[in-house]
Every structure is written in structure tokens, then in C-alpha cells.
Structure 1
């Protein structure tokens, strides 16, 4: 039997996990506004019934389990799509083609680091089914959209590693930039369909500023930030990226984030602030 933590301890534990719940919610919905809405509703539900979290194997599992219950019963995986071939409509078509709970299982495992047993507890399935969901997700995502990806990374070995992962997925790498100015020039010469970016670059310039400048010129492009400083982007004080990987990363994390980002044609991305 699990000992119930004191309410003050539970509140503090939830507060520490909230930035990561918001990260997961943004990746799942494809934009910051929808993700934060689901995270806020989750907190409201927990305030009304703290047992929803305290009864789980860990506070973190309980938090994500409460979120999943709200998410899975909300009636729509993202905000209601419009008509025609808008980005939202295209997203809905792609999501409708996926097996239920597969994206959730893959993100929970590869981005948030939950074990198969914990994922089973979160989405209310046996551990064996959670493993199957992760495997199905990898297969379905491998059949997803392919595109031209630009890499903004000042460490040569990491840049080469990320490039190899991306190319192994069938994407084309338009080039690698080590500074803000190089990134802007590269984007102008070879417009990308997606960006993978670090936030601290070789000449002390900012990958955040580089991405903001590129998006200002080219409009919405899916962005995945890979950084050793996630706390700089998980503050809630400015528009945040939907997809954020923490260094050191794994190949699964990169593959999952890239595949998820490619599913959304109008990802909410970071702006300078």
C-alpha cells in the first residue's frame, strides 16, 4: 500500500512536475495554447480530488494519469478543426489514422522517460499492451511525413549525430549552422520544412533568436529544441516550443520528437521575448 503524502508535500511535488506535463501536453496537441489548456484543466481536477494523484504509484504518474483521463474523454485530440484543407484539418486526418493511445505511449516513453509499467498505469492498460503501443507508434510514425530539416547546433559531433538520426528517418538535411547568422543565411538559401535547434550557439548567440528571425521571415515551421538548459524554455513566461528535448538525448527521443512535429503543419513555436 502506498503511503499518502502530506498535502503540502504533494503540492510541491506536483509543482515540480508541472513544466514537464506542459511539455508533454504541447507535444500531444501540437501547440502551446491547447497544451496549456489541458494542463490547467488537469490541475483543476486534482484540486477537486487530490486522491487522483496520491493514489498512484508516484506523484508524477498520478499527475500524468489525471491528464490522460481528461485528454482521452475530451472528445477531440486537438482543437476542433475547420473545414477544407487547413493545417488543422490536415492534422485531424493524420491523427485519425493512428492507433489509439500510440502517440501518447511513445511520447510518455521517449520524451518523458516513463517505463512501460508506468505508461500502463497512466493510460490504464497492462504493461504488455503499453509495450505494444510503443512499438506500433514507432512503425506508424516511420510512415509519416518526410521533409527538409535544418540543424542549428554548434557542437560538431552532436550536429553530425543528429543529422545521421534525421537522415536515417528518410528526411533531408538542408545544412548545419553553428551561429545565429549562419542559421538565418542557411534558411534563406535552403528553406527548411522543419528546424532542430540548440539554444546556446558557438559565438554566444542564441538559437532562440535565430529561430524567431527565421519564423518571422518564413512563417510557421515546426521546431524542435534540443538543449542542456530546458529550464530556460519551460518557464511559462513567454511563448514556448511545442517540442523540447533535453541533452543528453537518446536516438528514440529525437526520432519521436521529429515525427510528432512533422504531424503538425502549424506548430506553436518560440518567439523572441
Structure 2
């Protein structure tokens, strides 16, 4: 009995460590903190009560993500996302909505969460060949995404320039780079960006989240937050961003995040 309790405790601790990353993935898939977190809550409850459901996986994180997808039925077909800005969606509809749910999920699992293609296939319950085809199709679709105006909020000059280069190389227009809340708000009002890419912590006591909250008072725009410590942000205990990516990030991750953010409801 003691051994079973120790084993159960280890599984519970492993699940707890996985939850911040599962929240990030769920929010990216659904485009909603509320819907994503509810899905994660159900998954966590089932995993703790029935650890045998994830015991078959060699890696607990893979097992939890696989269980997460097996439990999607109560929420309906949430992968399709809700309607966002009609002007942006109308112009991007052909390139974004052509990406099937399977393509998006494989892309997010591998690029955002760092799973191998084999692990992604296991999580989604498909063959490795099918997962590989979906990933290649997703990458091709990302190349077709129409150019949009993006505001970068980042106080580290070198990082800001790197981010701007990635955005431009992905085919998008950088309308401005802001290092403070005040500048971010001014640039947003001036350029009406289609999307905002914001760091969490800015210069001094300024906050990227605070800047975005002010911007959202005058316009509805998808937002992607970047942070070096996503697990600290994704606690599920407060209102948090729906789209969170980790520093450093590669071009494929940014392209995937932009496409998904533009095709779903922002925070």
C-alpha cells in the first residue's frame, strides 16, 4: 500500500508540473483562457483520479496531453475557434481556415510544446506518417498567410530588433517597437495593428500586460505574450493571456502563434 501511495504521489507531482504547459497549449488551440482552462481542469481531475489512464505512456507529459485530447468530446469541436475581427478574418480566411484542426494541433504540439513528431502522433492518436504529413501541410499553409500589421512591445533593444526581423521574415509588417506602456498605447492608436506581440515585463515598473489592457479599451486585437518563464504566468488563478510563447522562440513558432491568434478570439 505504501508503494502505491508513493507511486500515486509521484504521478500527481508530475501532472502538476505539466499543467502550466497544458494550459498554454489548450489556450492556443481554443483561443480562450476560460475554455482552455476548463478543458485542462477536467483533464487534471481525471488524471489524478485515474492515473492508470496515463501510466501506459513512457513520459507523464505525453500521457497527460494524450488524455487531454481523449477528453475533448464534452466541449464539442472547439478546435475551430470563434469568430474574431471580421476585417482581418475576411482577408486571411483563405490562408488560415484552410489549415485543418489536425494540422494546427501537430504544429502546436511540436513547435510550441517541443514534442517529437512521434510523441505528437501518440497524443493525437494517429500514425507517425499522418502526423508528419499534417506537419508538412501546416508549414506550407503558414507560408501563405497574408501580411498583417504587427506592433512589437519589448524593452530590450537587441531582442526587439530580433523579434522585428522574425516578424518581417515571416512576411508581416512591423508598425512600431515600443519599450514603454505609453509608447505602446500611442503606437497602437496611430497604426491600428492587426496583432500585438508583447513582452510581459517592460522597462522599470511598466508591464506589457498593463499596456495591452489599455490598448484593448479602444480596439479589439489579438495579442501574443512572450516570457522566459511561461509556467510562472500560466497558473490558472487569475485573468491571463490566451496566447503565450516562450523566449527564445523560432520563426516557425511565431508564424504558428500569429496564424492561430488571428484565427481565434483574443484575450
- Distance, in Å, in 2 between the alignment partners of 1:104 and 1:237 is 25
Q: Can you give the 5+ residue segments of structure 1 that lack an aligned partner in the other structure? A: none
Q: Are residues 1:175 and 2:190 paired?
A: no
Match of 1:214 in 2: 215
> 56-65 or 208-217, which moves further after superposition?
208-217
- Distance, in Å, in 2 between the alignment partners of 1:229 and 1:16 is 13
Mapping for residues 33-48 of structure 1, pairs under 5 Å = 33-48=34-49
- Distance, in Å, in 2 between the alignment partners of 1:37 and 1:101 is 21
Mapping for residues 107-256 of structure 1, pairs under 5 Å = 107-218=108-219, 220-256=220-256
Contact preservation (8 Å) 1:222, 1:261? yes
Equivalent pairs, count: 261
Alpha-carbon shift at residue 231 of structure 1 (Å): 3.9
Match of 2:103 in 1: 102
- Distance, in Å, in 2 between the alignment partners of 1:122 and 1:262 is 25
Contact preservation (8 Å) 1:105, 1:119? yes
| RMSD (CA atoms) | 2.9
Contact preservation (8 Å) 1:198, 1:225? yes
Q: 1:28 to 1:192 in 2, by over 3 A?
A: same
Q: SS of the counterpart of 1:9?
A: helix
Alpha-carbon shift at residue 214 of structure 1 (Å): 0.7
> Given the two structures, how large is their TM-score scaled by the length of structure 2?
0.87
